[in-house]
Amino acid sequence: MAVAPLRPDDLYRRCDPSQFSFETTAELEAADDLLGQEHALEAIRFGIGIDHPGYNLFALGPAGTGKYALIRQAIEEQAKAEPVPPDWCYVFNFDAAHRPRALRLPPGHGMQLKRDMDQLVADLHRAIQGVFESDEYRTRAQALEEEFEERQEQAMGEIRELAKEKDVILLHTPTGFTLAPVRDGKPVGPNEFHALPKDERERIETDINALQAELRKVMHRMPLWKKRSEEQIEELNLEMAASALEPLVETLCAKYQELPEVVAYLRRVQQDVVEHFREFLPNQDKPSIMNVWTPPNGEGPPWHHRYRINVLLGHDGHVGAPVVYADLPAHHQLVGRIEHRAHLGALETDFTMIRAGALHQANGGYLILDALKVLMQPLAWESLKRLLQAGEIRIESLAQIASLISTLSLEPEPIPLDVKVVMLGERQIYYLLCQLDPEFSELFKVAVDFEDRVVRDPDSHLNFARFIAAETRRGGLRPFNREAVARVIEQGARLVDDQERLSAHMRSIGDLIREADYWAGSSGRTKVTADDVQRAIGAQIARADRISRRLREETTRGTILIDTTGTRVAQINGLAVMSLGGFAFGHPTRITARVRLGKGEVIDIEREVKLGGPIHSKGVLILQGFLAGRYALDHPLSLSASLVFEQSYGGIEGDSASSAELYALLSALADLPIRQSLAVTGSVNQLGEVQAIGGVNEKIEGFFDTCAARGPIDGHGVLIPAANVKHLMLRADIRESVRQGRFSVYPIETIDQGIEVLTGVPAGTRNPDGRYPEETVNGRVEAQLTGYSERLRTLRSARAKRAEPSGERP
């Protein structure tokens, strides 16, 4: 049952540079395709190819695997073959100014219509001013005015003739018209009138009353004549304005005759301009039509701004469908916003201040979003879902959605939405949304799951080399020789802790390539070598390992109690991994056990003080099941044991130390010392099988560095699960120590194998009579547990005898 330590070749899988036919990556064809993402690429093509509602994409996988690059590349290839979406403009709604209308135009026509309308307004100013300064207008207006004056004068002349026949004269006074009698061609004064005979006075009064009745009739008709004259002049004004406007508008209508919505809008503009032609005349008071157009003090946007075109989205010179990445997916960045201007302490707006959002920009194409960023923005996720379900874009502020304001604001006409949304996020986010949001699965039916590792074989080696070639050319870096490529591939295996896999985390590989180029340049080389790659790896570790160095220093100084020589009973070196800021490192931790007679409990001190996580607590309970199922099967388990991570002041989680804890318990029960020059990692099940754990490379290297910091490496080693052998990609100095026989790595399959290595005593197997040999580890453990059970039975029997005279119950 003795376990042989691993050979140096088992600790690391080299990449043979001779397998490559090139000398440097400059000879290779660059490849931007991501490694091992064939299934993801197939899902992307399906998602962007199917044209049905709800088939939006969610790309899930760790950050740095190249999700965005691959998706963007695939989408842009598809988008080139798709039609350019239409332009969208907002225009003034002449029937309801607070509800701007949306115009859909062919690609590139939005800015053209804007320029045409700006030119139309400029032409209108000249044309309308010119037509009202023309001789024709003056002549016709003067004729209408003279006609009114002539009719008025004719009516008054008739009154004068009647008055003359009656010896009465019609006088025009400052207070109006009056009638007076005449003698010898001169008006009769009051005194002279009263001196006249009575019958004559009565005749004159009768004549004047009759004439006054006629005068009143004329005076009553004169306002009607004036109104009719003004109506005729206004009709003339409208006719002249229409004559000035018609050729200009007709020209535009002919230009846009294939766009009925534009033609209808131009006709409405024509009608509005004719109705408000005075706004185009100089030195005219501008009547307020709507507060958003002309503030009470007369300041603000000119009247003709209502004829402007707000090009919300234009596609001049664009080819294919748009591909948009929204790096800040806040609510207003997605759905658009309505801007305001401050004026006299108040905020005012109009349709020209409507701005497009990412959904407008991507409409008719593709929108790429970061899931976490969307979920972190208030109401952004809810707004996105609502608009996708409705199939239209409604520009609303957060205050409107939350009903925080009740004042009248702009309500732009919704725009139809036709967009394919691609969300990027971690797997955890995807699974949480699937579980917690019922609408998510209806809107994002295509999952694009990115691999974080690929199979390591000659094909993936070559693909790695081609990826390095692409990175060097894209970044203008030095080419890598074949040895440098091989070293990058080996580091790719180390990143995933697996000899048979390579990392698909392209960001980390790209960083290593650029940093190796830097070190090659600092050494004056024209191409990158394996030494440069190794130097870059070492520099990355050196920049991040302050905490690990500090832990080793405190261990060396004796602050942290770790024994790396000698033997101890019930004490063992467990191995833990700490990850800080993307840098993981291992360090040893002393684990101790204490046993005594008890009720069959294994107490996890970490759990009792709430420092142990549920997985660690599960591992400790498994130990109790292992002891009860293997030893003293004819006796009750009668021990009380305690386990603890010494000098542990934070949380403990995971079951990778459960085998070390079991070894400590067995050492305590068997009273056998454990070699402190060895450290242990691995989980265990109730059958005593040692199971694989994570971070095996960091754990081995952490213990190696601790031992090296205390003195020469000699006889030290680590016990790891045999299932983790394929994950080993250890440093060169550790492999060299193994080659020299100064450091050992033992692959352990069972607890029996491990306890033999740690104590030097055979574990022992049951004889045909069902007993373990006495001087084996298992024999000593079973004897101890059997002794505990018998002592407990003796104590209970003695207690029962003492209780009999007094009638006590045992």
Q: Stretch 554-582: mean pLDDT, rounded? A: 93
Q: What is the DSSP letter of 289?
A: S
Q: Which of 731, 722, 723 is nearest to 701 (CA)?
A: 731
Is 656 marked active-site? yes
- Residue 54, domain member (yes or no): no
The pLDDT tens digits for 445-478 are: 999 999 888 999 999 999 999 999 999 999 999 9
- Residue 98 pLDDT more than 80? yes
- Residue 727 pLDDT more than 90? yes
Residue 810's pLDDT is 46
Residue 206's pLDDT is 78
Q: Which of 134, 114, 132, 120 is nearest to 277 (CA)?
A: 132
- Residue 676 pLDDT more than 80? yes
Task: Please answer whether residues 256 and 105 qualify as being in contact, where contact means their C-beta atoms are separated by less than 8 angstroms.
Answer: no
H or E element, residue 343: strand 341-343
The pLDDT tens digits for 521-562 are: 999 999 999 999 999 999 999 999 999 999 999 999 999 999
Residue 764's pLDDT is 93
- For the beta carbon of residue 495, count every other beta carbon within 10 angstroms: 19
- Looking at 264, 280, 296, the residue that finishes a domain is 280
Residues 6+ apart with CB under 8 A from 676: 563, 564, 565, 566, 567, 568, 571, 573
Helix, strand, coil % in the chain, rounded to nearest 5: 50, 20, 35
State whether residue 367 is helix, strand or coil: strand
Residues 6+ apart with CB under 8 A from 314: 87, 108, 110, 111
Task: Please answer whether residues 692 and 724 qualify as being in contact, where contact means their C-beta atoms are separated by less than 8 angstroms.
Answer: yes
- The residue annotated as part of the active site, out of 229, 383, 503, 656, is 656
Q: What percent of the chain has pLDDT over 90?
A: 59
Residue 741's pLDDT is 95
- Residue 805, domain member (yes or no): no
CA separation (Å) from 457 to 13, 36, 190, 464?
A: 12, 11, 133, 11
C-alpha–C-alpha distance, residues 422 and 366, integer Å:
7
- The residue annotated as part of the active site, out of 67, 420, 527, 699, is 699
HSE, CB side, 13 Å, CA atoms: give it for residue 598.
Answer: 12
H or E element, residue 176: strand 176-183
pLDDT grade, residue 132 (50/70/90)? confident
- Looking at 280, 303, 331, the residue that finishes a domain is 280
Tell me the two tokens of residue 683. Answer: 């989980």
Same domain for 434 and 493, yes or no, is no
C-alpha–C-alpha distance, residues 634 and 769, integer Å:
14
Q: Stretch 563-592: mean pLDDT, rounded? A: 93
**How many domains, in total, are found in the chain?**
4
Task: Please answer whether residues 542 and 696 qualify as being in contact, where contact means their C-beta atoms are separated by less than 8 angstroms.
Answer: no
Tell me the two tokens of residue 776. Answer: 């084996």
State whether residue 381 is helix, strand or coil: helix
How distant is the alpha carbon of residue 134 from its chain centre? Answer: 63
Q: Stretch 386-391: mean pLDDT, rounded? A: 94
Same domain for 380 and 422, yes or no, is yes
C-alpha–C-alpha distance, residues 698 and 589, integer Å:
14
C-alpha–C-alpha distance, residues 568 and 590, integer Å:
11
Mean pLDDT of the chain: 87
Among the ranges given (210-214, 253-257, 720-724), the one the predictor scored with the smallest mean pLDDT: 210-214
The pLDDT tens digits for 401-456 are: 666 555 567 889 999 999 999 999 999 999 999 999 999 999 999 999 998 889 99
Q: How many helices (H) and strands (E) does the chain have?
A: 26, 30
* Most confident of the ranges 50-54, 120-124, 315-319, 530-534: 530-534
Q: What's the farthest any 2 CA atoms get from each other in the chain?
A: 171
Same domain for 441 and 482, yes or no, is no
- Residue 403, domain member (yes or no): yes
Residue 619's pLDDT is 85
- Strand pairing category for 337-338 and 354-355: antiparallel
- The residues facing 181 across adjacent strands are 168
- Residue 293 pLDDT more than 50? no
* Enclosing domain of residue 246: 130-280
Same domain for 483 and 616, yes or no, is no
Residue 173's pLDDT is 66
Q: What is the DSSP letter of 189?
A: P
Q: Stretch 203-228: mean pLDDT, rounded? A: 72
The pLDDT tens digits for 59-75 are: 999 888 888 888 998 99
Q: Which of 644, 641, 649, 639 is nearest to 660 (CA)?
A: 644
Q: What percent of the chain has pLDDT over 70?
A: 89
- Residue 809, domain member (yes or no): no
Residue 590's pLDDT is 95
Tell me the two tokens of residue 456. Answer: 């390591």
HSE, CB side, 13 Å, CA atoms: give it for residue 1.
Answer: 17
Tell me the two tokens of residue 329. Answer: 């997916």
CATH number at residue 441: 3.40.50.300
Same domain for 476 and 580, yes or no, is no
- Residue 144, domain member (yes or no): yes
pLDDT grade, residue 228 (50/70/90)? confident
> What does 201-248 look like in DSSP terms, one character per residue?
HHHHHHHHHHHHHHHHHHHHHHHHHHHHHHHHHHHHHHHHHHHHHHHH
- The residues facing 752 across adjacent strands are none
- Residue 290 pLDDT more than 60? no
- Strand pairing category for 57-60 and 420-425: parallel
Residue 301's pLDDT is 65
Residue 291's pLDDT is 33
- Strand pairing category for 583-597 and 571-580: antiparallel
pLDDT grade, residue 176 (50/70/90)? low
Same domain for 349 and 231, yes or no, is no
The pLDDT tens digits for 589-619 are: 999 999 999 888 888 888 888 888 888 888 8
- Strand pairing category for 176-183 and 186-187: antiparallel
pLDDT grade, residue 37 (50/70/90)? confident
C-alpha–C-alpha distance, residues 64 and 509, integer Å:
10
Q: Stretch 278-305: mean pLDDT, rounded? A: 54
- Residue 52, domain member (yes or no): no
Tell me the two tokens of residue 163. Answer: 């008055």
The single residue listed with the structure tokens 């960001």 is 507
The pLDDT tens digits for 76-93 are: 999 999 999 999 999 999
C-alpha–C-alpha distance, residues 737 and 750, integer Å:
26
- Looking at 433, 449, 465, the residue that finishes a domain is 449
Please give, one letter per residue, the 3-state secondary structure of 602-638. Answer: EEEHHHHCCCECHHHHHHHHHHHHHHHHHCCCCCCCC
Same domain for 570 and 532, yes or no, is no
CA separation (Å) from 685 to 3, 558, 614, 679?
A: 20, 34, 16, 19
Same domain for 493 and 637, yes or no, is no
Residue 316's pLDDT is 81
Q: Stretch 231-238: mean pLDDT, rounded? A: 78
Angle between helices 198-255 and 109-132 (to 10 degrees): 150
Residue 296's pLDDT is 39
Q: Stretch 680-689: mean pLDDT, rounded? A: 95
The pLDDT tens digits for 255-275 are: 999 999 999 999 999 998 888
Residue 172's pLDDT is 65
Is 699 marked active-site? yes
Residues 6+ apart with CB under 8 A from 671: 569, 780, 784
CATH number at residue 734: 3.30.230.10
End-to-end Cα spacing for the chain? 47
- Cα angle 541, 544, 545; round to 5: 80
Same domain for 443 and 502, yes or no, is no
Same domain for 527 and 667, yes or no, is no
- Residue 111, domain member (yes or no): no
- The answer for 525, left when phi > 0, alpha when psi is -120 to 50, beta otherwise, is beta
Same domain for 341 and 425, yes or no, is yes
pLDDT grade, residue 217 (50/70/90)? confident
Tell me the two tokens of residue 702. Answer: 């952490």
Same domain for 670 and 590, yes or no, is yes
Residue 564's pLDDT is 94
Among the ranges given (18-27, 231-240, 635-644), the one the predictor scored with the smallest mean pLDDT: 231-240
- Residue 317 pLDDT more than 70? yes
- Residue 640, domain member (yes or no): yes
- Residue 219 pLDDT more than 50? yes
Q: Which of 637, 674, 673, 666 is nearest to 752 (CA)?
A: 666
Residue 408's pLDDT is 61
